[in-house]
């Protein structure tokens, strides 16, 4: 069926054939043009789109294959959601070592984008915990890939944006947790230097660290530093509250006064809860998942996220410049999130997470002005020797991508000739 498919940011909107997959032992369907696996559509831009080609919808590949509750190893099909895994394993005392900001991503998507979490400084990215996976290639071969077998293809598939073929299943290493609860602490700070000091001080003592800053403020931005550790606790699980944005408003609800108000309220609410408190993992790791379709608040034109990473030594200046440009532009960002990555070597050729400070900003899409602002941010990132995250991107220039990911040329040896994406064509066609 030919259908417009939205990625999470709602931009770009392109048409392609969509073919649902429902069994892992089936051959790849014929499809029109090139193929690309598409999981739950939580990538923000066009890494999960394939204009004029075919999307292989993988949510029908949602079976578990084997779970060893003694060793903490889980094998499942690629369309299983991380949240579905948690529902299964948490009662057995296990946890996923790496969780992104939403539980509604598939295992295949987490691998293809080599996602990271608030504990990157401790455990690295998702790909570090993939023991093996099966790759179905368009020539019909099924290759079991791991760090030991077909290791080059494995490194190209982790963070490989779905270009190396269809991941049918993966085997994941799990992490022991004492309970579903965390001891969470919130520390206010002002300015990037204070953030860096807190981050350095907490790296050894806390598993999970992340910060929020109010980028509507001028001067040294006020922020909140969140850190947490798992701890043993027995309490009834909190009720799963779900609100929903049930329709797309005709205009973005995210505007300048709204962003200011939100940021002020956010700061006020969290300033009340400074003392360490017990927090269930679900609201802690996935606060936005409580609001189904929250992306709709940005209206029909959608939004763009800009997530970059800057090497730590030049981060204060570069991030200050980015925040200044955003503040000068006046829009501000609904949520601005900071995190210091650890210095493990990345598991994938195109992995995004690397040593440095990452900053994520959301912008309602106001046409060319927004795109121009983001281009100027890319200049700052490039000059500082950083990188922009493909999973969040819908617009970076090809030349910038190739600079951020110098290994991109080695991908060619591993890309399946029938696989492609809107993103990949956009960033490599002018090379």
Interacting residues toward another protein by CB under 8 A: 1, 20, 22-25, 60, 63-67, 76, 88
What is the C-alpha radius of gyration for the chain, rounded to an integer number of angstroms? 21
Q: Are 127 and 378 in contact (CB under 8 A)?
A: no
What's the CA angle centered on 177, arms 266 and 351, to 5 degrees? 70
Spatial separation of the C-alpha atoms in residues 352 and 404, rounded to whole Å: 9
CB of 25 to another protein, least distance (A): 6
Nearer to another protein, 80 or 210 (CB): 80
CB of 24 to another protein, least distance (A): 7
Nearer to another protein, 77 or 114 (CB): 77
CB of 289 to another protein, least distance (A): 17
Nearer to another protein, 84 or 321 (CB): 84
Task: Choose among 10, 17, 116, 109: nearest CA to 59.
Answer: 109
Spatial separation of the C-alpha atoms in residues 292 and 214, rounded to whole Å: 24
Spatial separation of the C-alpha atoms in residues 89 and 61, rounded to whole Å: 19
Nearer to another protein, 92 or 190 (CB): 92
Preceding amide of 49 cis, omega within 30: no
CB of 386 to another protein, least distance (A): 41
CB of 62 to another protein, least distance (A): 8
Nearer to another protein, 24 or 227 (CB): 24
Q: Are 281 and 183 in contact (CB under 8 A)?
A: no
Spatial separation of the C-alpha atoms in residues 7 and 198, rounded to whole Å: 35
Task: Choose among 368, 424, 422, 429: nearest CA to 4.
Answer: 422
φ, ψ at 149 (rounded to 5°): -115, 130
CB of 359 to another protein, least distance (A): 37
Nearer to another protein, 171 or 416 (CB): 171
Nearer to another protein, 33 or 91 (CB): 91
CB of 383 to another protein, least distance (A): 48
Q: Are 338 and 356 in contact (CB under 8 A)?
A: no
CB of 74 to another protein, least distance (A): 8
Task: Choose among 164, 213, 161: nearest CA to 45.
Answer: 161
Nearer to another protein, 205 or 247 (CB): 247
Task: Choose among 271, 269, 180: nearest CA to 228.
Answer: 180
> Helix or strand or coil: residue 222?
strand
311: how many CB neighbours lie within 10 A of its CB? Answer: 15
Nearer to another protein, 66 or 261 (CB): 66
What's the CA angle centered on 373, arms 267 and 382, to 5 degrees? 95
Q: Are 312 and 375 in contact (CB under 8 A)?
A: no
Nearer to another protein, 23 or 176 (CB): 23
CB of 109 to another protein, least distance (A): 20
CB of 17 to another protein, least distance (A): 12
Q: Which CA distances in Å does 195 have to 140, 190, 200, 396?
A: 50, 7, 9, 28
């Amino acid at each position: 069926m030919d259908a417009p498919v939205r990625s999470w940011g709602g931009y770009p909107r392109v048409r392609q054939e969509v073919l649902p997959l429902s069994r892992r032992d089936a051959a790849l369907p014929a499809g029109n043009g090139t193929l690309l696996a598409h999981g739950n559509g939580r990538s923000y831009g066009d890494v999960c789109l394939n204009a004029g080609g075919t999307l292989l919808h993988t949510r029908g590949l949602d079976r578990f294959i084997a779970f060893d509750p003694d060793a903490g190893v889980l094998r499942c099909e690629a369309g299983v959601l991380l949240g579905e895994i948690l529902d299964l394993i948490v009662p057995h005392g296990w946890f996923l070592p790496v969780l992104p900001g939403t539980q509604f991503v598939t295992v295949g998507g987490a691998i293809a984008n080599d996602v990271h979490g608030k504990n990157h400084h401790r455990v690295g990215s998702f790909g570090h915990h993939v023991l093996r996976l099966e790759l179905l290639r368009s020539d019909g071969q099924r290759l079991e890939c791991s760090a030991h077998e077909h290791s080059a293809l494995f490194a190209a598939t982790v963070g490989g944006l779905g270009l190396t073929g269809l991941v049918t299943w993966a085997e994941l290493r799990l992490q022991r947790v004492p309970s579903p609860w965390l001891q969470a602490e919130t520390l206010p700070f002002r300015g990037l230097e204070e953030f860096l000091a807190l981050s350095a001080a907490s790296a050894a003592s806390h598993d999970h660290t992340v910060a929020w800053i109010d980028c509507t403020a001028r001067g040294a931005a006020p922020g909140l530093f969140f850190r947490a550790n798992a701890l043993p606790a027995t309490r009834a699980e909190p009720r799963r509250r779900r609100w929903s944005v049930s329709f797309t408003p005709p205009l973005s609800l995210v505007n300048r006064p709204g962003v200011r108000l939100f940021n002020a309220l956010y700061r006020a609410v969290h300033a009340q809860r400074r003392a360490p408190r017990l927090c269930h993992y679900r609201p802690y790791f996935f606060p936005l998942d409580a609001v189904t379709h929250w992306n709709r608040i940005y209206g029909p034109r959608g939004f763009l996220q800009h997530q970059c990473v800057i090497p730590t030594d030049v981060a204060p200046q570069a991030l200050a410049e980015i925040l200044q440009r955003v503040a000068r532009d006046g829009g501000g960002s609904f949520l601005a999130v900071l995190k210091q990555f650890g210095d493990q070597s990345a598991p994938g050729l195109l992995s995004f997470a690397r040593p440095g400070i990452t900053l994520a900003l959301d912008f309602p899409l106001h046409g060319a002005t927004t795109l121009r602002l983001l281009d100027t941010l890319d200049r700052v990132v490039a000059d500082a020797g950083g990188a922009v995250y493909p999973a969040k991107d819908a617009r970076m220039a090809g030349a910038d991508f190739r600079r951020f990911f110098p290994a991109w040329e080695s991908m060619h040896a591993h890309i399946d000739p029938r696989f492609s994406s809107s993103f990949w064509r956009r960033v490599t066609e002018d090379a």
